[in-house]
Structure 1
Amino acid sequence: MKTNILWGILLLTVSLFVGSCSKDSKETIAPAPEFELVTEMDGTNPLFVSPDQVFKIEYNAKNIKSVTTSTLPEGWTAEIDESGKYINVKATANAVSKAKLTITATGEDTQKVSKEVTLCCLNFFDDVNGTFVLNEGNMTTENGSLTYITADGYVFDDAYKTVNGSELGNVAQDMAFYGDKIYIITQNGDVNAVGKKFENDGMLIVVNAKTLKKEMAFSKEDLPELDWPTHIAVLDEEHVYIRDNKGIHRLDTKTKKLTTVEGTSGAPKSQFVTMNGKVYTYKTGLLGCILEISPDKDNATKINFPYRVEISINEVLGIQAAENGDIWVMSFGFGKSAMNKFNVESKKIIQRQINVKPNVGSSGVAFASYDNNIYYVDGTTIYRLKFDEDESLNAASGLDAEETLTDLSAIDNNAGLLYNGLGVHPVTGNVYINTIKSFAQYTQNTIWSFDFNNSAENPAAKYENYTNFSAGFFFAPGK
């Protein structure tokens, strides 16, 4: 009897042991989840998304049960298609500029793999802390382009093409800001100087200032009266002023009608000054003067310089707006260069002589100003005049006030020559300069940014090989 009981217990024990081993052998370990983004991304830069356009992020997934995304800020959406293995990301024009997207793939058990993507909506071009660099392009082979430097120093090359999928016209020359729009004028539009047809958006392009999306375009055929336009100023949609080889024209963008502004024949290839609801340019020579254009009439009013001045104004090199409503005038006469501060109402002028005759680039920029600091260039040497308005001083006092800041060619062998003037950031006061190695080696170039109050030898920033014959630096106006 005891033997049978013991044998039964033994059989039960063996049975339990075998059953236990059999159960363990059926357990499987879930394979590790595999998840990788296929869409190529630069890990150091954000993923740029054009407003209202879908950007597809593709991925590869293996041993994955589900894919989810984090909640994005208002204006952003991310839609997952697990069967197609992609995520559609979209942002509105009013979305916050930057967002973080976390993509989480969950395996067949609880294991997870996450990827983080920094998103940036292309709706920040109206940032007053940014910087535009307009590029002419090679006049026989290239269209114009627009480079943008963000407030945090990221260089966004060919921003217009990235946003629109098309290019600016050949030999881009100048930009003007009005309201929520930017007006960009090109010399040749869609037909270059030797008659070759180019694929681009035309001679005058109007874009949204926030997104750079094209809103309006005028081809060379739309503006047949224009002969190599170079500069533009905008008072409103019916008063867009364009300078060309014949003079100045007023364009009504609503009707596409061009009207000649009388008294502007031979207007110089130089940037306009726009202030107090009027547009200003100048005439040079012995009878040189400021030309004032008001929206209420299509003819220019001459504002003569005072007859008696310490330094003769025989040649005007360029003009810019001064902060108090006056106009800065760079001049030359009888072997002397001068910086002048001129009031168009009172005709009062203050002169300060300088030692050099500054370079004037093909865009007509002879100097740049910030407060009463005037920056100009001779060769590749940068100068600054701290303009003193003390009326007890004579014009020659400027000679002692002039500072030699730096010679760029001594800092960098590739800085062979300056191309098209200077710019000063209206918020930071930093001076922007474009240099190229040579005309033949223009693709070797540098955008310099200097805080001359901090250092004249070490630039605050230096961006290499982004420009294609820069037409100048431009900055979004304050709101």
Structure 2
Amino acid sequence: MKKSVWACGALISLAVVSCSKNDVTEPLPVENPEAEIVNVLSQNTAAQEDTLFFKVKTTKGAAWVWSVDGRQAGNDSILKFVSSDMGEHIIRVAVSKNDKTVSAQTNVTVYGKYKYGTFVLNEGNMTTENGSLTFISPRGVVTDSAYFKANGTELGNVAQDLYIHHNKIYIISQNGKKNAMGTSFNNDGLLVVANAETLKKEAAYNDELAALSWPSHVAVLNEENVIIRDNSGLYRFNPITRSLTFIKGSGYAAKMTMAVSNNKIFAAAGSKVYVVEPGKDTLTYAMDMKASVSGVVKASDGNIWVSTTGTPGKISKINFRDYSLIKANDITTGSLSAGWGATPGITAKGDTLYFSGAGTKMYRHIFNQGTTEFIADAKTMVANANIVYNNIAVHPITGEVYMNTIKGYGLNFLINNISVFGMSNKATLSANYQNYTNFPAGIFFTCSYN
């Protein structure tokens, strides 16, 4: 046994010495480079002018070159991707080492800057200037005069309302190219239609709408049925034929935002809610709410919320199919008034509704529980929040409540706030954008439009 072990050891020693004498060394294999693109933000979509970040993961000692859509984009360790060109883009990195090159690529889709976010439509000073659009991106970046920046031209005098339908935004102005005193203004007029993602103007209508008297609101059923409210009532405008038709029976339609649900328009009119359907020149129905209607809003299930200011005030839910009353809750805390403005006195996210009576005190009503509570007074949270200019609006996804305020009239309107309140438990000021509005006509969330 001992001899066997020794012999084995001797043989091993001999082999080692023999290898050393021959001096034979196998060459190391050439290391191939590796290429991987790491998406830092894990996003493959971005708005125009937004930035995405990509970095390369590769072999030590390798060199690389980035390209975007076939054009070289540098060799930094991180690629900052920014584009104003909508559509799909190809990001590629080519990695080289030891005369070998490999590559990796990923795709990015760029959508219009204004596709997602919040618009504040501004009337402007009716005697001296035109309307304008303020835009707040989901990241909280504010673009003022967004329509002008996209077109180099302005909205009409006293912009009042907007509606988004099939990637088009429709903006109505009270005076169009002339103010109330008849002074001419250089702008795009009464009804402007633009691309909803880019705000690039597609059409403007003026002479076709000359019969209108102070148009204030617009809602769209389809490209041939644009419903416009003015001092006489409701009109059906067909942009294709350029025909304007008064809807019989629609007199006294209120200066208030109209709701659209299931291809029907619901519009407040005194104690009634009018129903308008496409292609019809007469009202489909007129619901009698037995008290002054202060708000008509689409519910998340397609039915209709209606607020009234009788004694007591009520929030009612109406069936959109047969216009029957589903349920009505009495409101004895706070005010459901729409105020003097042109926006509804209620705003809703799911089964939760908010109202402020066009003042700074905010209230929350949970419909299925029938409970109402005071939430907060914006005056205690926002400096110079003295006058609420048109009513509050709740974001249909985040549940945050937006409020536009001004310090006062005269030059005090230049001191203003777009305030955003989180409403999880109690109200908290989650964002405040100062001095971006100019007599704001309303707050509009792009995600509210299907």
Give the TM-score of the pair, scaled to structure 1: 0.70
Kept in 1: contact 2:157–2:174 (CA 8 A)? yes
Distance change (3 Å), C-alpha of 1:95 and 1:200: farther
- Return the letter of the residue paired with 2:213: D
Partner residue, 2:315: 339
Query: Where in structure 1 do 4 or more consecutive aligned residues deviate above 4 Å?
Result: 46-50
- State percent identity of aligned pairs: 40
The Cα shift of 1:290 comes to 2.2
Q: How many residues align?
A: 362
Deviations 1:28-58 (CA, angstroms, capped at 9, x unpaired): xxxxxxxxxxxxxxxxxx99769xxxxxxxx
Instruction: State the distance in 1 between where 2:263 and 2:47 align.
Output: 40
Q: Out of 238-247 and 458-467, give the one that drifted further.
A: 458-467
Partner residue, 1:194: 181
Instruction: State the distance in 1 between where 2:110 and 2:342 align.
Output: 32
1:124 to 74, 98, 113: 113
Deviations 1:64-89 (CA, angstroms, capped at 9, x unpaired): xxxxx963358xx799xxxxxxxxx9
Kept in 2: contact 1:143–1:171 (CA 8 A)? yes
1:291 to 256, 262, 274: 274
Instruction: State the distance in 1 between where 2:240 and 2:137 align.
Output: 33
The Cα shift of 1:158 comes to 1.0
1:71 to 67, 73, 93: 67
The Cα shift of 1:123 comes to 1.8
Deviations 1:264-320 (CA, angstroms, capped at 9, x unpaired): 011111111111111111322xxx3321111132110234347xxxxxx32111110
Q: Does 2:265 align with 1:279?
A: yes
The Cα shift of 1:142 comes to 1.4
The Cα shift of 1:443 comes to 1.2
Say which SS state the counterpart of residue 460 (structure 1) adopts.
strand
The Cα shift of 1:250 comes to 0.6
Partner residue, 2:191: 204
| 1:411-430 equivalences in 2 (<5 Å) | 411-430=381-400
Distance change (3 Å), C-alpha of 1:236 and 1:48: closer
Kept in 1: contact 2:335–2:355 (CA 8 A)? no
Say which SS state the counterpart of residue 115 (structure 2) adopts.
coil
Instruction: State the distance in 2 between where 1:461 and 1:73 align.
Output: 37
Partner residue, 2:6: none
Distance change (3 Å), C-alpha of 1:135 and 1:70: farther
1:229 to 186, 210, 215: 215
- Return the letter of the residue paired with 2:185: F
The Cα shift of 1:364 comes to 3.1
Distance change (3 Å), C-alpha of 1:122 and 1:305: same
Deviations 1:106-135 (CA, angstroms, capped at 9, x unpaired): xxxxxxxxxxxxxx98822112xx111111
Deviations 1:390-409 (CA, angstroms, capped at 9, x unpaired): xxxxxxxx4xx211111111
- Return the letter of the residue paired with 2:419: W
2:351 to 372, 378, 381: 372
Instruction: State the distance in 2 between where 1:235 and 1:417 align.
Output: 34
Say which SS state the counterpart of residue 138 (structure 1) adopts.
coil
Partner residue, 1:445: 416
- Return the letter of the residue paired with 1:197: S
Instruction: State the distance in 1 between where 2:323 and 2:212 align.
Output: 35
Partner residue, 2:35: none
The Cα shift of 1:178 comes to 1.0
Partner residue, 1:182: 169
- Return the letter of the residue paired with 2:280: K
2:154 to 163, 167, 172: 167
Instruction: State the distance in 2 between where 1:177 and 1:282 align.
Output: 20
| 1:10-29 equivalences in 2 (<5 Å) | none
Instruction: State the distance in 2 between where 1:218 and 1:446 align.
Output: 32
Kept in 2: contact 1:94–1:123 (CA 8 A)? no
Q: Does 2:368 align with 1:388?
A: yes
Q: Does 2:307 align with 1:314?
A: no
| 1:134-149 equivalences in 2 (<5 Å) | 134-149=121-136
Give the TM-score of the pair, scaled to structure 2: 0.75
2:234 to 248, 266, 270: 248
Say which SS state the counterpart of residue 149 (structure 2) adopts.
helix
Q: Does 2:386 align with 1:406?
A: no
Instruction: State the distance in 2 between where 1:92 and 1:223 align.
Output: 35
RMSD over equivalenced CA pairs, Å? 2.8
- Return the letter of the residue paired with 2:416: N
Distance change (3 Å), C-alpha of 1:244 and 1:78: farther
Say which SS state the counterpart of residue 222 (structure 1) adopts.
helix
Instruction: State the distance in 2 between where 1:152 and 1:323 align.
Output: 25
Instruction: State the distance in 1 between where 2:84 and 2:425 align.
Output: 39
Distance change (3 Å), C-alpha of 1:121 and 1:135: farther
Say which SS state the counterpart of residue 459 (structure 1) adopts.
strand
Say which SS state the counterpart of residue 161 (structure 1) adopts.
helix
Q: Does 2:118 align with 1:92?
A: no
Instruction: State the distance in 1 between where 2:113 and 2:72 align.
Output: 21
Instruction: State the distance in 1 between where 2:239 and 2:318 align.
Output: 32
Structure 1 gap segments, 5+ residues each: 1-45, 51-68, 80-88, 100-119, 307-312, 390-397
